[in-house]
Amino acid sequence: MPRKARWTVKLMRIITGSARGRRLLSPEGFDVRPTTDKVKESLFNILQFELEGREVLDLFAGSGQLGLEALSRGAKSAVFVDSSPRSLDIVKKNIRLTGMEVQASAVAGDAFSFLAATDRKFDLVFLDPPYDHKLIDKAAALLPRVLKSTSVVVAESRFSEEVPESIGELAAERTYKYSAIKLTVYRKPAE
């Protein structure tokens, strides 16, 4: 008999900004692997001057914590995409918990179908798919159509996982290592 999903608070919270300190829900189990506070804080230190007024895409949203942190820190809007009904339910609950209903929208569906169909353009994209499935490579092929010329893409992966050297016109500018996790930041190279 399948185990019934339970909701928990796994030490996930909004670190700073308008929703500072709000705890976020995450499902039990290993289907969703929330970004740790240490990695999230480092990530947002890297992006601190690139959030205000930006339009954010949180692909493979999981609990939605990255997009919600961006909204709390001044992003204009965020779209959360996830194919798991359970994860999308959590994202919607977390949007309500943080009071971000006006700026946030949750989209049920496959990340690749979303990228192929949307007409929206984004300033900042978070890619945090399940590890070791080459999903970053697959997303990288479709991402250029939703990026602005000044967009930034951040991909989270296992440290040993190979990621693309570029996404459209964006190059892997820098990689940051946190234990077994790496963040790869893609930006348009300086001319």
Q: Is the pTM of this model over 0.85?
A: yes
Give the count of domains, the chain. 1
Spell out the per-residue pLDDT of the chain, length 191, in tens: 444 444 444 558 888 888 888 888 886 654 556 677 788 899 999 999 999 999 999 999 999 999 999 999 999 999 999 999 999 999 999 999 999 999 999 999 999 999 999 999 999 999 999 888 889 999 999 999 999 989 999 999 999 999 999 999 999 999 999 988 999 999 998 76
User: Does 2 map to a domain?
Assistant: no
Asked if residue 97 lies in contact with residue 75, where contact means CB atoms within 8 angstroms, the answer is: no
pLDDT at 163: 95
Buried b / exposed e along 67-76 (16+ C-beta atoms within 10 A): bbbbbbbebe
User: Does 170 map to a domain?
Assistant: yes
Q: What is the DSSP letter of 161?
A: S
Asked if residue 17 lies in contact with residue 8, where contact means CB atoms within 8 angstroms, the answer is: no
**Domain CATH for 134:** 3.40.50.150
User: Does 39 map to a domain?
Assistant: yes
User: Does 1 map to a domain?
Assistant: no
The whole domain housing 167 covers: 7-187
Q: Would you state the structure tokens that stand for residue 78, as one six-digit string?
A: 């965020």
Condensed to tens digits (0 to 9), the pLDDT of residues 110-130 reads 999 999 999 999 999 999 998
